[in-house]
Structure 1
Amino acid sequence: MKKNVLEFWVGVFVLLGMAALGVLSFRVAGGNGGLTGNPTYALYAEFSDIGGLKANAPIRTAGVVVGRVESITLDPETYQAKVTLKVNNQYKFSTDVSAQILTSGLLGEQYIGLTQGADEAMLNAGDTITETSSAMVLENLINQFVANMGGEKKSDDTAKPEAVSQ
């Protein structure tokens, strides 16, 4: 009888552990980022390079998550990435807001940072953010650094002149 009770409690413990792991994995994967149930509105932004930005990436202002990236598509006319932003209704941004693709830490997740402008007029649902800065791609920065270092080689013009024999 004691063996059956022990097996029951071990089973309950294992099931609770599996449920906790499921909840934890959902939160780590992004879940809804705290926007569950809150009404949102769509804004658009175009970038020449989005780096590793992905759908469901956070949108932050002053470090606070104010929305999520809904989708990323390529505009066939301009060949720029068109990003659809879902912003929580309680946050309104001026028409001169700027959007940047930033990275958490050196190699962390990429997100969109919004910097509020000074205009009194506010963006409406469906408007496009015109002030954008593309992602800084680590590979491009390394290539520029290597190219600049390669251009600083000293030339052989300073070599000593050979002795002239007579």
Structure 2
Amino acid sequence: MGALVLAVAGLFLFYAYASSEFSTGGGYEVTARFTTVGSLKPGSDVRMSGIKVGTVSKQVLDPQTYLAEVTLSIDESIQLPIDSSAAVSSEGLLGGNFVDLVPGADEKMLAPGERIELTQDAVDFIQMLSRFMFQAGSSGSGSGSGSGSSAPMGAAPGTN
């Protein structure tokens, strides 16, 4: 019985290793800086047109700019134009984050170690939802709050 359990565990580990598209090298590294990376972590996918072309290999906080500097390991067969952009995208409301690369049109290619300058930060769905709920709750349709103003939140009365 124990041998059967070990065999099944071994098969599971083999399957997990084979399906993870784990690679032990090859490729080149580029960096990108983001204000926020959400739940992005080392090992997260780097995708282009929805296809995995690399992984996030490292994340550090730049002590001078307080930006998250993310190192991306890109497959050596993929050459990125120097005006390419990187965005932290989400797989859905409850899914993890990944880096989505959009190639530029420049003739010059990014060299290993260079930085992708055009970036877009992660969208925090929970924070966006809480802001929406707070604004909806504070509009108070007929709640008798006494303000009598229909100005948007943060706007002075009479500046519509």
Partner secondary structure for residue 139 of structure 2: coil
Tell me the distance in 1 between the aligned counterparts of 2:18 and 2:44: 13
* 1:96, distance to aligned residue in structure 2 (A): 1.0
* 1:128, distance to aligned residue in structure 2 (A): 0.5
TM-score by length of 2: 0.80
Partner residue in 2 for 1:116: 103
* 1:40, distance to aligned residue in structure 2 (A): 1.0
* 1:118, distance to aligned residue in structure 2 (A): 1.3
Structure-to-structure mapping, 1:27-106, within 5 angstroms:
30=20, 33-36=21-24, 39-106=26-93
Partner residue in 1 for 2:12: 21
Partner secondary structure for residue 45 of structure 1: strand
Offset from partner CA, 1:66-101 (integer Å, 9 cap, x none)? 000001000000001000000011001111111011
Tell me the distance in 1 between the aligned counterparts of 2:71 and 2:29: 7
Partner secondary structure for residue 98 of structure 2: strand
Structure 2 residue 127 is the aligned partner of structure 1 residue 136? no
Partner secondary structure for residue 114 of structure 1: strand
Structure 2 residue 137 is the aligned partner of structure 1 residue 146? no
Q: What value does the CA root-mean-square deviation take over the aligned residues?
A: 2.2
Aligned residue-pair number: 145
Query: Structure 1 pair 146/27, CA: closer, same or farther in 2 (3 Å)?
Result: farther
Tell me the distance in 1 between the aligned counterparts of 2:112 and 2:138: 49
The higher radius of gyration belongs to: 1
Tell me the distance in 2 between the aligned counterparts of 1:81 and 1:11: 47
Greater fraction of residues in helix: 1
Percent identical: 31
Partner secondary structure for residue 112 of structure 1: strand
* 1:120, distance to aligned residue in structure 2 (A): 1.3
Query: Structure 1 pair 152/36, CA: closer, same or farther in 2 (3 Å)?
Result: same
Tell me the distance in 1 between the aligned counterparts of 2:60 and 2:9: 37
Partner secondary structure for residue 8 of structure 2: helix
TM-score by length of 1: 0.78
1:35, 1:88 within 8 Å by CA — same for their partners in 2?
no
Partner secondary structure for residue 38 of structure 2: coil
* 1:17, distance to aligned residue in structure 2 (A): 1.5
Tell me the distance in 2 between the aligned counterparts of 1:153 and 1:59: 44
